[in-house]
Amino acid sequence: MKKVALITGILGQDGPYLAKLLLKNNYEVYGLIRRYTNPNFSNLDYLGITDKVNYISGDMTDEASLINIIKTVRPDEVYNLAAQSFVGASWDQAKVTSEINAHGVLYLLNAIKNFAPSAKFYQASTSEMFGNSHKNGLQTEETPFHPRSPYAISKLYAYWMAINFKESYGMFCANGILFNHESPIRGIEFVTRKITDGVARIKLGLANEIRLGNLDSKRDWGFAGDYVEAMWLILQQKEPDNYIISTGETHSIRDFLDAAFNHVGIKNWKKYVKLDPRFKRPAELFALHGKSDKARRKLNWKPKIKFEKLVKMMIDADIKRLSKK
């Protein structure tokens, strides 16, 4: 019999990559989608799997819909990827961010506890929970949390709620603490995709500037396709546990700009990049740099795509997409 997986956040960036991996591993895949007048399946289309997923309608903020979905699907594995995932928007929309990212997870865990208690549960936790905490410049599973945005606070609630359901009810609940990961289908507001889309437009003569905020912050950027493998591996373990997933390399936004403009043959990018205070954050995370030794040792996971290759992959995809238009 095929294993049944439920993915929330199926229309986002990670949902389609994970669905593709699970389909390859012979799972039956269900994806939770919200009701829209015009739903957008473009990320699933990009990976060529739109027709291979079963869609089920619901919303993370509507507990009854989640109960219904769990009762109907009876999943073996649940991957909770749904979120208001943009840190920048979380100050302006703190309430909705909390309702989706924190309370939504509580509703989902309750539904699983009551109607599919042996299902394995993956929570999409984030390096944002560390804030500026580090030891010798690195974050590990032992680094104290100090969230610095409503997004990070909502995610920390969900992280602990997953652990609490494990400890209280013996459920298989695991957290992947993923550092930033990107791809050609990354949301357009995130800095990497904003840059690759902007550089592609400049190269094609469709734009002449990119407006950005803080260029000095550093992130540990990996490839989404590599990171969904870790999600799956985390649920294949005998015992639920929490794992950092990162590349172990960190780069500034300036490094990203260097690599991106260099790839299209533009040496001096400074004239194309305008600093715009609208894109600065009320509280910044200066540097994320994850130590994923535990995942490498216990899950036998490691990232395959390096920084330069990731940047090239994203720009080439944006140039191809914009050229078609």
Among 87, 102, 161, 314, binds ligand GDP (CB under 6 A): 87
19 binds ligand NDP (CB under 6 A): no
Known catalytic residue: 63?
no
Residues 7-33 as b/e (b if ≥16 CB within 10 A, e otherwise) read bbbbbbbbbbbbbbbbbeeebbbbbbb
Q: ∠ at Cα 7 (42, 142), nearest 5°?
A: 115
The residue number with the shortest CB distance to ligand NDP is 12
Give residue 153's identity as a one-letter amino acid code.
I
Only segment of 4-12, 109-117, 283-291, 306-314 that touches ligand NDP (CB under 6 A) = 4-12
Q: Which is closer to ligand GDP, CB of 64 or CB of 188? A: 188
Q: Is 128 a catalytic residue?
A: yes
Which CB atom, from 134 or from 203, has the smaller least distance to ligand NDP?
134
- As measured in angstroms, the least distance from the Cβ of 211 to ligand GDP is 7
8 A C-beta contact, residue 269 and residue 212: no
Comparing CB distances to ligand NDP, the nearer of 58 and 240 is 58
State the angle between helix axes of 150-169 and 104-115 in degrees (0 to 180), rounded to the nearest 10.
20
Q: What's the closest the beta carbon of residue 208 comes to ligand NDP, in angstroms? A: 28
> Counting contacts by CB under 6 A, is residue 91 touching ligand GDP?
no
Task: Name the site residues for ligand GDP (rule: CB under 6 A).
Answer: 87-88, 128, 180, 189-192, 194, 212-214, 217, 219, 253, 279, 281, 284-285
Task: Name the site residues for ligand NDP (rule: CB under 6 A).
Answer: 8-9, 11-15, 32, 34, 59-61, 81-85, 100, 124, 126, 178, 180-181, 187
